[in-house]
Amino acid sequence: MKIRPATIADYAALCAIDTVAAETPERCAQIHHWLASADCHVAEVSGTVAAYGVLTTQFFGQPFIEMVMVGAAFRRLGLGAAIIRHIQSQVPSSKLFSSTNASNAAMRSMFEKLGFEPSGQIDNLDDGDPELIFFRRP
């Protein structure tokens, strides 16, 4: 596995592995925005883009992992955790935040294993599925 900065050349591959993009055309527009304006990283397996992660500072001016997406064929191989660890190594701040839906048990478990702590929740983004905020000091 190799983790590297994403480039605009990765756009089609990121849209292809993003499970939301298949159902929501706006996601590919969001991916394009992330590639142009955020700190986006990809994980490659045997030269194939398999996962990506996005770091922004739009969460009250704090570093925030806005997205971690692992392609369906590459799940449960540790790529999500590797992307998060890589992003952690890039953050000069003493704080790092991220979030996931309450229904996403796999992501909640990964955050716990990586030393993130619960830091609150936001209701009403997705009906009946609160967004849980997590925090970690690198």
Torsion of CA 72, 76, 81, 86, to 10 degrees: -60
Report whether pLDDT(38) > 90.
Answer: no
Confidence of residue 55 (pLDDT cuts 50, 70, 90): very high
Give me the domains of the chain, ranges plus CATH numbers: 2-136 (3.40.630.30)
- Whole-angstrom distance, CA of residue 31 vs CA of residue 54: 9
What is the rounded average pLDDT for all residues in the chain? Answer: 94
Report whether pLDDT(37) > 90.
Answer: no
Q: What are phi and psi of 126, to 5 degrees?
A: -115, 125
pTM of the predicted protein model: 0.92
Specify the pLDDT at position 92. Answer: 73
Specify the pLDDT at position 94. Answer: 78
Q: For Cα atoms 11, 86, 133, give the angle at the middle one, nearest 5 degrees.
A: 85
What average pLDDT does range 40-46 have in this prediction?
A: 97
